[in-house]
Structure 1
Amino acid sequence: MGQRRGGLGWGAFLLAFLLLLVTLGATAQTLKSANPTYDKIVDAVIARYHLPGIAVGVIENGQVVYVRTAGETVAGSGQKITPQTLFKIASNSKAMTTALLGRLVDQGKLHWDDPVTKYLPQFRMHDPWVTANMRVADLLTHSSGLPEGGGDLMLWPEPNAFTRADIIHGLAFIKPGYSFRSQYQYDNLLYVVAGEVAAAAGGAPYETLMRREVFEPLGLSRCQVGAWNRDAVGNVAQPHRQDNGHNVAIDEDAALIPAISSAPAGGIRCDLDDMLSWARNWLVPTPAQLAWLSPAQRQILQAPHMLIPVSAQRRAWDHSHVMAYGYGWRMTDVDGAWNVWHTGTLNGMYSMLSLLPDRRSGFVFMINGEADSARTVLGEVLTKHFTAPSDTHDVNWYADALDRAAKQHAATSSMPDTSKQHPATPSDLATWTGIYRDPWFGEISLCPSNNKVRFAAKKSPKLAGTVMRLGTRHLVHWDDSGDLDAWLDFHAAHDSQPITLRMAKIDPKGDFSSDYEDLDFQRVGGCH
């Protein structure tokens, strides 16, 4: 028999505790289907875009009021998405990286205005003046001068052999696309550098610091970074693409998931429960969370630091007047309400975290399929639920508007007709075959194989494909259809200079992370 405390016996206490757990469990189950408004929105998006899987959570006035999951971790597997299913949160990782930096500032180990070279003496940008004047804060605002997506080929496709040291070394060879601090152009490499700054200031690898300084204090028990075991952790969503109307899993994880260089920019995985905890930490921080990260640092992270042009669509849909980037967060006014948010995009994985701080409300969702338009539509309709509740535009209205815009784009696109491309022969390319080198991307080979010519990147094994001929031009058609095909433009040797190769996206408006235009290859040898 247990001792009595406050008149409640141990047996009675245990029974009361179990009843409380049952009640909480029933409440959680009810929350998943208690709001027909949210169910209608999510169901419509799933149906419109045939999503393989999704996890959605909504916060109203600081409380989680809606949790919804649907679909499977792998299409056809029968393994259901749950609130504990891990998704790649992609660029939503950036806010976790900046929170880590904010922790180090609170601890006196780092200052936002410190020069990057204080922590990384080997750091170099293309312009020596920019190198000397680049502050830690400048790594975070997408205003460094790097062209949009500059150097992303060192991050993706994964897996590849580019280390963080390779990335820091390669920055010196990427030519700027605009002047330092003059405009916003999204980049990922400098968030990798920021992760290395954190490691230098914090005295431990980025992954160790992220677990110790962010995941553990906030109780984000399922979030993963670095190397981990898929089966030991369990319940991991895999990315998908659509093939003839069917969702097909792509780039599936091996049993041992390796650490990746891109982690500070976009390599963290979390489940819905942890993402909702992460969101509530910003909307309604507890005293312990305010001790974890001070109000001063919270304000700095989510304050406007670099203006972003407001698109015509955003002006029309949201009546937005200003848009800006903080440290790992975007922000804008939506129907007069202040919105702090970010998205995440990786091949076959999409996410969005959106906060309305003045209302202590927001939402998060993660999708394991091709979902660019689905994310836009779901994010818009959920936002309007808070900022313009009388708005009558539904999921299909926004989806139809995006479809019309896509058709207009296609009608004016300079994308060429590639239906008549055919493999180039080794004799056709005899003048140009060989080993080429770019100062930041490294070596590639353009060499004969089975009466074709193959493109292969030494440090990025998934960036491989067959050289094709289209009219008088050549292009590379990648083995992985998720990568954007690229023109190959050869230039003959002259004045003792070697043969050179420049590349460009077939679709000039394609994903900026396929930054072929920043490559400048010179032939350094023949095929072996």
Structure 2
Amino acid sequence: PAQQACEAATPPPIAPSTSATPPVADAAARSREVDALFAPWAARAGPGVGVLVVHRGRVVHAAGYGMADVASRRPITPRTPFELASLSKQITGMAVVHLARQGGLHYRDSVAAYLPAFRARYPGVQVRDLLNHTGGFYDYIAWFRARGPAYDAFPRTERGTEAVHEPTMAEMLDSLAAQPPRFPPGVGWAYDNTGYLLAAAVVEKASGVSFAEYVRNNLFRPAGMTASSLVDPYGPRPRDLAHSYTCGRGGWQLLDYTPLERQMGAVGVVSTLEDLGRWYAALDASALVPPALQQEAFTTGYLQGGQPIDYGFGWVLGNTMGMERQAHGGWWKGFRNISLRFPQPGITVVLLSNDAGFSSLRNEMAYRTARIYLRDGLRLPAVAALPADSLARLAGTYAGGGPRGYPVRVDAGALVVTVPSGTERRLIPTTDGEFFVDGIEEERFRFVADPDGTTRLIRMEFGLGGTVRSWTVTRRR
């Protein structure tokens, strides 16, 4: 089919936290705010975003913005299947919790007891290490891509004539077992997809059924998730599955193929907004395993020295303005997803996007969506006052992060920075010497003056791989 020209979607201006407009409590009004937030994706003829909000087990917003199939102009709806990418990890983690409850395995079991090929190089790795990213494995996707240019040429539109070998799960396990460890188990932490691939294999060995069957019978069916499944590399494409895209030469380019379709656990789950509403309702009600056992998934792991890693079983654990936060991102093909769960107010936000370009906006849009429902309970940073001349000295263009850099100007008594995605951030100074973004309080900026006259601008936002992500750009005098 002819490619459709790419059209950028620019989010609306950020509503400041200092706004005098009183917050709304009506659910329909909040949904209208979400609709307005994602209106740029609804207005363009391109891929988009599905948005889900669940409050204490009840879906309060579920809608699609943009196209699931650009060529046919089929829209995204709450029933559109998406590949969940690394959001699959929370389901793999819960499968292990469920099997542990049945007595099929224990978190301290040696992985080699189920997968003997790993005994030689990974004798001390336990099941818990797989889920906490403390096993010392190399990431199987990065390992596969490092084998040569042909292996790195994905994701892409289709298999094509230069197809590489598509390893089975067993072949991948044998290859990984032969790789030396990056570090001894429990000594370090490194996010990798390999641990969750091995966790799925352990579930198969311990339960005696395929991973797909175990998940279907013990998680999806009890939760009422009739439209969810694992990708079947040998079967037909799931009906109405969203295509994923990147903006390439000539317009929107499909990203529907990767030679790693046969690996499960780290990725591989297909689901809809409707079904995910049932999934998070089941978690809110502890309907799949008792509450004390479910909490294992949301409890941080620890290194051997006692340091917490802020990662559970498929969840990054942290805090948002005084509220406990459980989160994870997803990246696979052109899918860019995110899940944010706030257990105390009982709010869960999920964004599923089939636009690879959504990467730069994913965290921002998730937080802005969550903020519509959380703002009444946020504990904002303490604000400081800076004189006008101090603000003026920080203005200018900071090079790096893209061709436009980070332009900073003074507007109405405040610093305003334009980030590479094109959106503007109004910066509010805090008493600890940083600036927070008005309306996206999770995102911080810091200005550092160096002796050589260079001023560095450091941008920080919460990361979904267990760390705070940061970028540094510079302005020379």
Give the TM-score, by structure 1 length: 0.59
Give the equivalent residue in structure 1 for 2:211.
206
Cα distance in 2, alignment partners of residues 274 and 194 from structure 1: 23
Alignment partner of 1:88 is 2:90:
no
Alignment partner of 1:78 is 2:73:
yes
Give the equivalent residue in structure 2 for 1:358.
344
Contact map agreement 1:85 1:271 (CA 8 A) in 2? yes
CA separation of 1:330/1:135 partners in 2, compared to 1, >3 Å: closer, same or farther? same
Give a deviation string over 1:273-306, Cα, whole Å, max 9, x none. 0111111222234xxx1xx312222110111115
Cα distance in 1, alignment partners of residues 250 and 365 from structure 2: 20
Shift in Å at residue 334 of structure 1? 0.6
Give the equivalent residue in structure 1 for 2:179.
174
Q: Which has the higher helix share?
A: 1
Amino acid at match of 2:359: D
Give the equivalent residue in structure 1 for 2:136.
145
| Further displaced range: 73-82 or 155-164 | 155-164
Give a deviation string over 1:326-355, Cα, whole Å, max 9, x none. 011111101010011111101211111111
Cα distance in 1, alignment partners of residues 399 and 219 from structure 2: 44
Shift in Å at residue 391 of structure 1? 9.9
CA separation of 1:239/1:33 partners in 2, compared to 1, >3 Å: closer, same or farther? farther
Amino acid at match of 1:305: G
Give the equivalent residue in structure 1 for 2:401.
409
CA separation of 1:75/1:81 partners in 2, compared to 1, >3 Å: closer, same or farther? same
Match of 1:103 among 98, 102, 106: 98
Contact map agreement 2:243 2:354 (CA 8 A) in 1? yes
- Helix, strand or coil: the match of 2:87? helix
Cα distance in 2, alignment partners of residues 95 and 405 from structure 1: 41
- Helix, strand or coil: the match of 1:113? coil
Amino acid at match of 2:208: G
Give the equivalent residue in structure 2 for 1:3.
none
CA separation of 1:306/1:42 partners in 2, compared to 1, >3 Å: closer, same or farther? farther
Matches within 5 A, 1:116-135: 116-124=111-119, 128=121, 131-135=122-126
Shift in Å at residue 104 of structure 1? 0.8
- Helix, strand or coil: the match of 2:38? helix
Shift in Å at residue 410 of structure 1? 4.8
Unaligned runs of 5+ in 1: 1-29, 308-321, 393-403, 414-511, 513-528
Cα distance in 2, alignment partners of residues 123 and 175 from structure 1: 10
Shift in Å at residue 175 of structure 1? 3.6
Amino acid at match of 2:328: H
Matches within 5 A, 1:110-509: 110-124=105-119, 128=121, 131-147=122-138, 151-153=143-145, 157=154, 160-227=165-232, 230=236, 233-243=238-248, 246-251=251-256, 260-285=261-286, 289=287, 292-306=288-302, 324-370=310-356, 371-388=358-375, 408-410=400-402
Matches within 5 A, 1:513-528: none
Contact map agreement 1:152 1:188 (CA 8 A) in 2? no
Cα distance in 1, alignment partners of residues 256 and 110 from structure 2: 38
Amino acid at match of 1:353: S
Cα distance in 2, alignment partners of residues 171 and 229 from structure 1: 26
User: For this pair of structures, how many residues does the alignment match?
Assistant: 345
CA separation of 1:83/1:382 partners in 2, compared to 1, >3 Å: closer, same or farther? same
Give a deviation string over 1:45-101, Cα, whole Å, max 9, x none. 667x98512211112343211111122222131212111111010011111111111
Contact map agreement 1:167 1:189 (CA 8 A) in 2? no
Give a deviation string over 1:391-432, Cα, whole Å, max 9, x none. 99xxxxxxxxxxx99962358x9xxxxxxxxxxxxxxxxxxx
Contact map agreement 1:145 1:177 (CA 8 A) in 2? yes
Give a deviation string over 1:136-158, Cα, whole Å, max 9, x none. 11111112223466535399847
Contact map agreement 1:54 1:368 (CA 8 A) in 2? yes
Alignment partner of 1:39 is 2:40:
no
Give the equivalent residue in structure 1 for 2:5.
none
Shift in Å at residue 259 of structure 1? 9.6
- Helix, strand or coil: the match of 2:361? helix
Contact map agreement 1:106 1:293 (CA 8 A) in 2? yes
Shift in Å at residue 179 of structure 1? 4.2
Shift in Å at residue 230 of structure 1? 4.4
Cα distance in 2, alignment partners of residues 324 and 405 from structure 1: 35
Could you say what the CA RMSD is over the residues aligned between the two structures, in angstroms?
Answer: 3.5
- Helix, strand or coil: the match of 1:132? coil
Shift in Å at residue 108 of structure 1? 0.8
Give the TM-score, by structure 2 length: 0.65
Amino acid at match of 1:67: A
Give the equivalent residue in structure 2 for 1:448.
none
Match of 1:59 among 41, 54, 61: 54
Cα distance in 2, alignment partners of residues 332 and 50 from structure 1: 36
Cα distance in 2, alignment partners of residues 346 and 124 from structure 1: 30
Contact map agreement 1:55 1:272 (CA 8 A) in 2? yes
Cα distance in 2, alignment partners of residues 261 and 112 from structure 1: 25
